[in-house]
Every structure is written in structure tokens, then in C-alpha cells.
Structure 1
């Protein structure tokens, strides 16, 4: 059965490719503005909405995901320069959490889980924040930074799954796909032979 990633995120596409699975991309058409303050409920709700939106049109396995940064409040993608600046200023010198919710929809089953990673920023000067914003990198990223890009210079420590901060906890996703038998026996045999 085909796997469809309900996303057009270049980072999620890149991460799912690391699992060496064949998949197609179908971005969902949903309003991502929801009124949910709890970070876990927020990401699980949006991952499910994304997966359901795509699943209704396909008889396939659909994976939906949503990532947010949480520091006293939920930080999604910044709306503009000032919003991004305020996010980075708020995260400066502190720990925050990154949550990703994942929903996998099958013909007769829905599987949802989340991953949490803690990230500590260095103390950021206004000059560094403005420089980083001038690169344009942060504007389509939750929390206004890309840990896999230049945003890595903002990070002091990380506790947990690095890939979760990028947008998809691939180790946990692999475990779920493997344990549910979604990864075929053929794929398993090929994988074992290469090891």
C-alpha cells in the first residue's frame, strides 16, 4: 500500500526520505489556526486534521505531522519580522520545548503520537537576532529558527530527538511503522541483507 505524506514541508520530505521508504507528497488544505493552548493537544489535533484531509481522497497510508515551539505559549511560524524577532528574543538564554504530533491513518486504524525535545538557546544579542532575521531563514519555521541550518548557531544544548526539532521524529515514526507491519517483509529482508 502507498504511503502519502500530508505535507509540503521540505524538511519533512527530507526526513522521511532518510527512512528509505517510497512515498508520495500531498499537501493538506486546512486552516492551521486552532484555539488550543495545550502544546500536546495542539500538535496532535493538527497532525490528525492534516492526515484526515488527505486520507479522504486516497486509499493509502497517510502520515500527517505538526511541529510547534513551546515557551510559556505556543510559537508556530512567525507572521512577520516583528513576530519572529519577539520569538527569538523570548527564547534567548532559556530552555524551550519542541513538540511534534504525528498521525498515521490506515484503512481501519488511526495511530497518533507526539515527541518532545528540549532546546536551550544561547543568550542572543539584538545584533545576532537581526542578522539571523536578515537571512530570511526563520520565516517559515516554528519558533522562527531552523536547527538544521544557520539557526544552529543559536543553540547551546539539546535534550532529545534532533530530527523532532526539524519537524519529524523519524526514529519513533520508524518504530511505529515497523511494529505495525507497515514496513513490508520485503523491505525488512532487504534492510537486513544490507546490514
Structure 2
């Protein structure tokens, strides 16, 4: 049976795979996400394609260390009317993100790429549309008082599975992609590979 490596330090991605009963090892990789993202934005790549490319960079990097394993790279991109957001640098930056998302509908694209034998063997991108309530500056401050620094690693400065749920009026699409991994598609691939128990 193949061995699965999750090329991510994301706690929620680990929890999703663990809760789904998947045996895996976590082996975070370092890539220059900002430089890659900025280059792809400059080349006018779509948000979906940017998520896919970043996931592939991570899977490929992990495959260098684990060449005989399946390496799963994943990434999530937030886009508002075509503009791609980066993770907030600090609390002030998080407040700016939330002010821009306030009263708007944005998209999340969560990509997953699996490498085996130094090449990509499977990929998918899940998506969701999220409509945020109109928030006052005071509401944003109160929210960040409670949610920071937990949301510092979240592209939208929120965790929709936690306190961030209060920010939204509607979420359409793949819930697992909101969390950062298109889990059902990943599980379907692992089932095809004989890596699921049931």
C-alpha cells in the first residue's frame, strides 16, 4: 500500500484527514508562496490556476524528500472580483482584509495535487462562494480581539468553522474547500488507489 505525505503545516488539513480515517504523515515544505503568487498574478493567471500551481509546488517539493510516497500538496486562494488576497501580515492587515470583504461576496479556491514517482498523478480544485455581512470597524475590532492570532495564517483573516462563521450571511459550494482542502475529491482518489478501509 502506498504511503501518503501531507505537504502542509495547516492544522485544519491534518484534522480533516485524521477525522476521515486517513493514515498519513505531515511533512511541511517551504516554498516562496508570495513570490510565486505575485508572478502568477503578473502573468494574469486565474485564482483557480494560482491555487493549483501553489499546490503543485508543495507536492513536488515534498516528493523530493519522499520519492516513493504519494505527496499531497494543497493551497487555498481567496479572490474578490478577480483580485487575489495574500495572508495578512499582522492584525492591522487582517482588519484591512475584513473591511474589503465586508458586504461582498468572494470566492475561495482550494487545490490539491498528488505526486508519485516525481510527477503529478492527480489534481483537483474545489471552490466556494462566501457572502459576508456588512461589518462596522467596531465589529471588526471586536472580532479580531477574539480571533487574533488564530486567524493570522488564514487568507481571509477568518476561520469559517469557528468564530468566523458569524461573519457570513451565506456560503455556497464545497464546505471542505472553505476549510482549505477539497476533501471529498481527495478521498475519492485515495479510494481508487485502495487506501481507504471501508
- Give the TM-score of the pair, scaled to structure 2: 0.88
**Secondary structure class of the residue paired with 2:74:** strand
Residue in structure 1 matched with residue 156 of structure 2 by the alignment: 143
Are the aligned partners of 2:48 and 2:77 in contact in 1 as well (CA < 8 Å)? no
Are the aligned partners of 1:6 and 1:26 in contact in 2 as well (CA < 8 Å)? yes
Residue in structure 1 matched with residue 62 of structure 2 by the alignment: 54
Q: Alpha carbon RMSD of aligned pairs, Å?
A: 1.4
Size of the alignment, in residue pairs? 185
Residue in structure 2 matched with residue 117 of structure 1 by the alignment: 128
Q: What per-residue deviation string (whole Å, max 9, x for no partner) do you get for residues 84-108 of structure 1?
A: 1111111111111000111011226
Seen in structure 2, the aligned counterparts of structure 1 residues 43 and 182 have a Cα distance that, compared at 3 Å, is: farther
Please give the residue correspondences for 1:41-190 in structure 2 after superposition, counting only pairs within 5 Å.
Answer: 41-58=49-66, 59-72=68-81, 73-107=83-117, 109-135=120-146, 136=148, 137-179=150-192, 181-183=193-195, 187=197
Q: What per-residue deviation string (whole Å, max 9, x for no partner) do you get for residues 11-57 of structure 1?
A: 11011112211100000121111222221111111100101111111
Are the aligned partners of 2:113 and 2:120 in contact in 1 as well (CA < 8 Å)? no
Structure 1 unaligned blocks of 5 or more: none
Could you tell me how far 1:129 is from its partner in structure 2? Answer: 0.5
**CA distance in structure 1 between the aligned counterparts of 2:124 and 2:195, rounded to whole angstroms:** 18
Could you tell me how far 1:109 is from its partner in structure 2? Answer: 4.6
Q: What per-residue deviation string (whole Å, max 9, x for no partner) do you get for residues 108-139 of structure 1?
A: 65212111101111111111111112221321
Question: Do residues 36 (structure 1) and 40 (structure 2) align?
Answer: yes
